[in-house]
């Protein structure tokens, strides 16, 4: 049974129960044969892991310190599965048989050619017991107090729900109780469900751009590196090369220590004249003064805590590096190429930028070598409520004892990058009374700083809606997330791919989105390039037309304004599990207070902007 890496990463993880198509059986993945993954930004990966772990009050087998050397990053070579669950029914006599482990199964059935003693064929029950602590077991079969477990049948009581099913002794007809079981680790009832139910195994993952600019652990741990990232984004580098400024940080520590010593000695009473002679002879690292000036400017523009600084700057750095990839092409590049080659569609192609502006997109790019890392850091069972379920790490890899394994897949794919007009979003927030004051239309620096300061990505829960207590973050995120879904779903028809073959990455602080081929089948078709170079206008036209109505209106628009028929995608494609979506942010909606909520794509809003 061959599978691509991307498919294995999400559907064949250790402790996941799967259909084993080659043998027509059900099996549990017991372990992977792996190799260390190369060429990934490890400090960035660990930071994202630690940020994700903080969201789970209950977790098991993760390193407390969360240091880089406590993790190992692996990709699959092959997988090993084992027959599971070990509860069977005989197709002939209907008896239910339960085996404690695979060796027990072999001992008891091999002599009968893996059949029931009556000669009937055995069929696996697809039901399992599971608990929110992460435990999973084959269905527990109760014994009859008189006749033991020799002839137990499953009585479904004409119900499709396992909650109503019971075990029955076929000899005396006594009901033996429900099919539920007890988790002896937690002393709580386990749930019973078919193994295919999503709650039985839920992998926890994230995807990020695998940029290499700050992969050096020493530089990454220096808060000044993150301020330089923001300085680059805010056009505050003063003409200096970003990478040279970063490299110079390696030598800054000696000078920083000297300045600290200078202050201490002055406090201790050392004459300033003598100290000046000593300091004068100390050679400063390259670009030291320039770096200090740049950082000082950034500190005046925006103030962030160290934790927020690292989180925001890394997202901005991913975006900066993406827009500077060697094979990235802007709309201007596409238009110039169409003109120089005498493309018969040039008159249409040159209208692409104006058409994108009508949906709030200021800049657009297409990239063929987008470096993506998808990483899975654990799994849960049961409810997706992180306050209830326990996040479990994967078991140690036999070749990497003492380290917590993180399974990842690094690949290059194609994607379309859309950066939104900040002023239009700010104006939209103001028109809808979410904010009162905003930076001026021509104050680009002020708009960037506003987004960095007011959009708080740390409060975004994994599975839930963003709380109403932060309306700015909620509405900015909901807007770009909704636009991303609206375009992604309609892009699938334009490029000839299923919508589950496309994914999204959001940059709320920019704000921007990337719609990319998620390579679940490990190949790409060039469809994103074709869409970007030829079909921008029909793509947008179809999206705007279809977003106006939903098959389930008025129920949909009067409710969440989002359902599987209009905006929702599979969990493989969506970064936020179809939360914080709504057509109302695009097309408008009458609120309960009888006030009108203005949609971002409404003509009335663009009339307010004078466009």
pLDDT at 255 over 80: no
Share of the chain above pLDDT 70, in %: 90
408 strand-pairing partners = 375
16-45 pLDDT tens trace:
999 887 778 999 999 999 999 988 888 889
CA–CA separation, 93 and 85 (whole Å): 20
Q: How confident is the model at residue 522 (pLDDT cuts 50, 70, 90)?
A: very low
368 and 527 Cβ atoms separated by less than 8 Å: no
* Token pair recorded at residue 161: 């729900």
pLDDT at position 35, please? Answer: 94
Query: Which CA distances in Å does 587 have to 105, 170, 401, 485, 547?
Result: 60, 62, 55, 15, 8
Task: From 143, 144, 175, 154, select the one nearest 94 (Cα to Cα).
Answer: 154
Strands 59-60 and 391-392: parallel
pLDDT in the model for residue 228: 93
229 pLDDT band, cuts 50/70/90, is very high
Are the C-beta atoms of residues 568 and 579 closer than 8 Å to each other?
no
Whether 151 maps to a domain, the answer reads no
Query: What is residue 68's predicted lDDT score, i.e. its pLDDT?
Result: 87
Q: Which two tokens stand for residue 18?
A: 């799967």
Look at residue 265 and tell me whether its pLDDT is greater than 70: no
| Domain-embedded: residue 529 | no
More confident residue, 284 or 406: 406
pLDDT, residue 161, reads: 87
For residue 118, cis peptide bond before it (omega within 30 degrees of 0): no
* Helix (H/G/I), strand (E/B), else coil: 574: coil
Is the model's pTM score more than 0.95? no
pLDDT, residue 274, reads 59
Q: 395 near 580, Cβ under 8 Å?
A: no
Distances (CA, A) of 298 to 229, 454, 475: 10, 16, 27
In a domain, 391, yes or no: no
Q: Does residue 264 fall inside a structural domain?
A: yes
Please, what is the average pLDDT of the chain? 88
> Which pLDDT belongs to residue 496?
75
Is the pLDDT at 378 greater than 90? The verdict is: yes
Mean pLDDT on 497-503: 81
Q: Is residue 200 part of a domain?
A: no
| 253 φ/ψ angles, rounded to the nearest 5 degrees | -60, -40
Residue 217 lies in a domain: yes
Q: Is the pLDDT of residue 253 over 60?
A: no
Q: Where are the beta strands (DSSP E) in 381-501?
A: 391-392, 404-420
Q: Is the pLDDT of residue 359 over 60?
A: yes
For 281-315, what is each residue's pLDDT tens digit?
A: 544 556 777 888 999 999 999 988 888 888 899 89
Q: Which residue has the higher pLDDT, 494 or 453?
A: 453
Q: Give the model confidence (pLDDT) of 119-166 as tens digits.
A: 899 999 999 999 999 999 999 899 999 998 889 999 998 888 888 999
Mean pLDDT value of segment 428-446:
96
Q: How far apart are CA 587 and CA 230, in angstroms?
A: 34
Domain span at 290: 208-304
Q: Is residue 338 a contact partner of residue 350, using CB atoms and an 8 Å limit?
A: yes
Residue matched to tokens 């009473």: 269
Q: How far is CA 81 from CA 20, 288, 418, in A?
A: 9, 56, 42
Of the chain, the percentage scoring pLDDT greater than 90 comes to: 62
Please provide residue 46's backbone torsions phi and psi, each rounded to the nearest 5 degrees: -65, -40
Give the count of domains, the chain. Answer: 1
**pLDDT per residue over 546-599, tens digit each?**
999 999 999 999 999 999 999 999 888 899 989 999 999 999 988 766 688 999
Q: Which two tokens stand for residue 212?
A: 């290499």
- Decide if pLDDT at 275 tops 60: no
Whether 536 is in a domain gets the answer no
Instruction: Give tens-digit pLDDT for 186-202.
Output: 889 999 999 999 899 99
Residue 244 forms part of a structural domain: yes
Confidence class for position 257, pLDDT limits 50, 70, 90: low
Q: Is the pLDDT of residue 54 over 90?
A: no
Mean pLDDT of 390-410: 94
Structure confidence at residue 387 as a pLDDT band (50, 70, 90): confident
Per-residue pLDDT, 344 = 94
The whole-number average pLDDT for the span 81-102 is 92
């Amino acid at each position: 049974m061959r599978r691509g890496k991307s498919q294995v990463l999400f559907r064949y993880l250790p402790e996941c129960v799967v259909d084993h198509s080659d043998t027509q059986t059900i099996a549990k993945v017991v372990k992977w044969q792996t190799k260390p993954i190369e060429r990934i930004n490890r400090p960035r990966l660990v930071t994202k892991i630690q940020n994700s772990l903080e969201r789970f009050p209950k977790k098991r087998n993760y390193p407390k310190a969360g240091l880089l050397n406590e993790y190992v990053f692996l990709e699959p070579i092959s997988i090993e599965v084992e027959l599971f669950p070990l509860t069977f029914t005989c197709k002939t006599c209907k008896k239910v048989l339960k085996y404690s482990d695979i060796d027990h199964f072999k001992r008891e059935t091999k002599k009968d050619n893996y059949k029931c003693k009556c000669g009937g064929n055995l069929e696996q029950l697809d039901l399992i017991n599971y608990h929110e602590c992460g435990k999973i077991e084959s269905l527990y079969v109760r014994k009859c107090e008189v006749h033991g477990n020799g002839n137990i049948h499953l009585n479904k009581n004409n119900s499709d729900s396992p909650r109503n099913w019971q075990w029955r002794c076929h000899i005396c007809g006594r009901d033996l109780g429900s099919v539920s079981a007890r988790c002896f680790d937690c002393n709580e009832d386990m749930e019973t469900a078919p193994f295919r139910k999503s709650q039985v195994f839920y992998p926890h993952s994230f995807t990020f751009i695998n940029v290499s600019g700050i992969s050096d652990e020493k530089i990454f741990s220096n808060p000044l590196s993150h301020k330089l990232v923001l300085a680059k984004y805010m056009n505050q580098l003063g003409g200096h090369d970003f990478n040279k400024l970063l490299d110079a940080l390696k030598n800054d520590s000696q000078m920083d220590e000297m300045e600290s010593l200078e202050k201490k000695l002055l406090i201790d009473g050392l004459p300033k004249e003598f100290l000046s002679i000593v300091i004068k002879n100390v050679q400063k690292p390259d670009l030291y003064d320039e770096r200090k000036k740049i950082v000082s400017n950034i500190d005046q523009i925006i103030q962030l805590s160290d934790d927020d600084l690292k989180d925001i700057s890394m997202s901005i750095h991913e975006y900066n590096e993406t827009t500077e990839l060697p094979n990235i092409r802007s709309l201007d590049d596409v238009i110039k190429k169409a003109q120089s080659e005498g493309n018969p569609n040039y008159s249409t192609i040159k209208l692409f930028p104006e058409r994108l502006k009508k949906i709030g997109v200021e800049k657009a790019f297409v990239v063929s070598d987008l470096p993506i890392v998808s990483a899975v850091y654990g799994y849960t069972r049961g409810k997706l409520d992180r306050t209830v379920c326990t996040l479990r790490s994967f078991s140690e890899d036999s070749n990497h004892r003492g380290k917590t394994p993180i399974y990842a897949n690094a690949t290059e794919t194609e994607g379309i990058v859309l950066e939104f007009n900040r002023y239009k979003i700010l104006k939209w927030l103001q028109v809808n009374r979410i904010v009162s004051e905003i930076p001026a239309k021509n104050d680009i620096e002020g708009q960037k700083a506003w987004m960095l300061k007011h959009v708080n990505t740390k409060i975004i829960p994994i599975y839930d809606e963003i709380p109403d207590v932060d309306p700015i973050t909620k509405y900015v995120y909901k807007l770009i997330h909704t636009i991303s879904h609206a375009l992604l779903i309609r892009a699938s028809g334009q490029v000839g791919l299923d919508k589950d073959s496309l994914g999204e990455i959001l940059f709320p602080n920019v704000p921007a989105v990337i719609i990319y081929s998620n390579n679940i089948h490990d190949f790409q078709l060039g469809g994103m390039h074709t869409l970007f170079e030829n079909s921008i206008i029909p793509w947008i036209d179809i999206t705007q037309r279809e977003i106006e109505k939903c098959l389930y209106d008025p129920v949909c628009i009067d409710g969440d304004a989002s359902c599987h028929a209009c905006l929702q995608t599979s969990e493989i494609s969506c970064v936020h599990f179809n939360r914080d979506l709504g057509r109302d942010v695009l097309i408008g909606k009458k609120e309960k207070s009888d006030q009108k909520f203005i949609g971002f794509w409404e003509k009335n809003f663009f009339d307010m902007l004078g466009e």
